[in-house]
A and B are shown apart, each in its own frame.
Chain A
Amino acid sequence: MNTFKKGGIHPKDNKIYSAHQPIVECGLPKQAIIPLAQHIGAPAKPIVQKGDKVKVGQLIAEAGGFVSANVHSGVSGVVNKIDATTDAWGLRMPAIFIDVEGDEWVEEIDRSSDVIRECNLEPKEIIDRIAKAGIVGLGGACFPTHVKLCPPPGQKAEVLIVNGVECEPYLTCDHQLMLEHGEEIMIGIQIVMRALGINRAVIGIEKNKPDAIARMQELAQKTLGVEVKALKLKYPQGGEKQLIDACINRQVASGALPISVGAVVDNVATIYAIYEAVQKHKPLFSRVMTVTGKQVAKPGNYLVRFGTPLTQVVELAGGVPEGTGKIIGGGPMMGRAMNNIDMPAHKRTSGLLFLPEEESRRGIEENCIRCGKCVSACPMGLEPYLLSRQSELQMWSEMEDHHVMDCIECGCCQFTCPSHRPLLDYVRQGKATVGGILRARAAAKK
C-alpha cells in the first residue's frame, strides 16, 4: 500500500464520533451573514444594495481580481445592510446581511435529485461555469478552483488527483460525501478531466475508510481512466505534495507547483461542487461540515448554507457540550481555535471540533533536548528545531536559507516534540515574515 515517503506522524484518528452519520440539512437562519472574503485572494465586491431582494443562488458579490471568487447568496430575502461582522477570531470582516424570507431559488438551478451524466461542454465553458459558481478548494486552503484549472502557459496537466484522504483526525465530511454522492463525484471527476484535456485520474483514500474505498472502486471500474488508490494511514497525506507523492510517486520540487509534475489536485468536496455547478447550475452556496467532539451530543455531518450562524449548526448537534475548553474550526492538526461561534458558516468552515477542557491546554514547555524527532517527522525535510529558534531570534535570511517557505504548516513537528515546544508557532511566524520579505524583494525587482 502506498504512502508518501518522508516524515509524517500517526495521530489517533478519532473519526468514530461522526463517521457514517448521514448528511443532515441544517435549517435556514433568520438572518444570514455572508462574508465577502471566503477564499484566498482579493475579497469579492458586493453588487447588491440595501433593500434589494435576492434569491437562493443569486450572485451577490463579484470576484475582485483574477485570484478571487464569486459569492452567491445561500438564502432568499432582503439585503439588510453591508457592514463589518466579527469573525471567529474576533476580527472584523466585511459581509452582506440578508433578512431571510422564504426559500426561493434562482430558476435555472436544477433542484431535482436526478444524476445528470451527460456533459458535452467545451473545456473553456466548463471552467467558465466553475468560475461563475464561485468554487474554491474546499479542502482547507480555499484557493479559487478555476485558477487551478488554468495551467500557466508551457505547462500541461497529465493527471488529476482527487483528495479523498481526509487525513485530519475527527473530520468525516468528505468520507460521508463519498458514500452518499460517489456517483456525482465520479461525474465531477470526468468533467474536470474533460476541462483539463486529460484521460487519467487517481482518487487517493486512506485505508481507514474501507467502505468509501469499496464504493469508489466499484464506480471507478465503470469509468475509463479513473483509478482508486488505497493509501496507508499517515498524516499529512492530504497535503498536496504528499498526496502526489503517495498517489503517483512524483515529487514536486521545492518552490514549484503541482502542475510542474503534471498533477492537479482537487478535494472530493470541490469535485462534488463542480458537478453541481456544471450539471445542475447550482453555484457554491452550501457545504457539508462535520460537527464533532468526544462530548458532543449528536456529532454528525451537516449540510449548511453559507451565512448560517455556526450557533445554529451547533444547536442541531446538541449544543456546546459542558466543559468545552476549545472550539476548533477544522481538524485538530491544522484547524484554528476560535474565539466565539457567532460567526456564519462559509466556504472555509470544514468542521467544528469541541475539545474538552482537559485536552485543550498544551503541555508545559521544557528545554529542547535535541532529540531530532521533529526532523524525522517533518514531511518536507526541514529542521523545525532550528527554524523555530531562528524565528525567535529573528534571523530571517538564515530561515530563508533553510527553506522555511517549504513549510506546509502541518504541525507534525509540534505534535511529536517531547518538550512541548511551540515549534510551529514560531516557524509559521517566521514563514510569514520571510514571505513578506520575498514579496517585497520581488516587487523591488519589477
Chain B
Amino acid sequence: MKKLIAAAALGLSLSVSFAMAETVKVGMITTTSGGGAGLGIDVRDGFLLAVKNAGADIEVIVEDDAQKPEIAVQLADKMIQSDQVDLLTGIIWSNLAMAVVPSVTAQGKIYISPNAGPSPLAGAQCNENYFNVAWQNDNLHEAMGAYANDAGYKNTFIMAPNYPAGTDALNGFKRFYKGELAGEVYTQLGQTDYAAEIAQIRAAGADSLFFFLPGGMGIAFMKQYAQSDVGVPAMGPAFSFSQDILGAVGDAALGVKNSSQWNKDIDNAANKQFVETFQAEYGRLPSLYASQGYDAANLIISAMGKADVHDTDAFRAALKEADFDSVRGDFKFGNNNHPIQDIYVREVVKEGDVITNKIIATAFEDHQDAYAAECGM
C-alpha cells in the first residue's frame, strides 16, 4: 500500500514537473501603433517583464491590431490556426474585445483580458474561457460616482467616447452618483479637438466635470480644457490620468482626482518589485496598464505551476484560483471571472520633476461589478 502511494506521488510529481517544463505559447493582440499605442505598449512591457522576472517558460507572440476590430479578428484567427497558441491576451479596446473574445472562447481557447472589460462579457455573455484580470469597465467610474457624492458635487457634466467602454463608463458613474447631471456628451472615438464640447461644458453651469478619455484623447482634452479657463473642477477614472499621458499633459493635470485599482505606492512586496524592475528595464514609471499586463502574466504563470495548459479544464480551474501575488494586493475572481478588488481615489501630484499619482483614499473595498448576477456561471 505504502509503495503504491509512493509510486503515485512520484508519478504525480513527475507529471507536474512535466507540465511545468512545457513551453506555453501566448498570443498577444494589442495596440502598438497610432494614438492608443501607449496603452498597448505598457501592457506588453508589463507582461514581458513578469515573464522575465519569473524566468517562466512562456513564448509570447505580439501582434499590433492598430486599434481596428477587423485586424484584431484576423490576428486572432491567425494566432489560433497557424501559430497554434495556447492562450490569448492583450486587447486594449472594448470594441475590439467584443469582436474577438466571443469567437475565441467559442473555439475552446482561453482568453485573459489585461484591459478591456465590456459589460456584456461580464453579464449575459460571460464565458468560462474568458478571464478579466483588470476590471469590469464600469468599476473605476463607479468609484468616481461615489467620490463625487463625497466631494459634495451636485451638478456634474459627464463625457465619454461613443464606444462600448464609453457607455459603460457613464453608466458606471451614474450608478453611484446621486446628484443632477448638467449634461451628458458622447464624443467620437479617437477625436482630438474638444472645442465644441468645452464650449458646452462652459455653458452648462456645472459644478464639476467627469470625463473618460483614454490615451491621446485624454491628453488633447486636458490640455485644451486647461487652456480654456473653464474653472470647473475635472475628475475621471485612472485612464484619463494614467502615467503614459501625464507627461504630455503637463501641469494642467495637477490636483485632479481619479480612481484606480492600482498605483505605484500600494505597499506590498510584489508591487515594489514590479515598480523597481519596470523602471530599471524600461527607464520610465509604469502605468496601470503595465500593472495589468504584469498581473495577467503572473496569473498565467501561477496556473502553469498547477496544471498542463493542454488540459483546458484543469488549467481553467487553476486560473480561477488566482493564486498569484497581484501588485494591487487582494485579488480574486467572482463567479463571472471578473475581479473582486479594492478601488482607490488618487490625486495627480508632482514628485520632483515627474508628474504622477498618489493614493488619497479608498473608494471601495472588495468591489464586484454590477453584471455578475446576470452571468449564469
Please indicate whether A and B come from the same complex rather than being unrelated chains: no
Give A contacts to B, CB under 8 Å: none
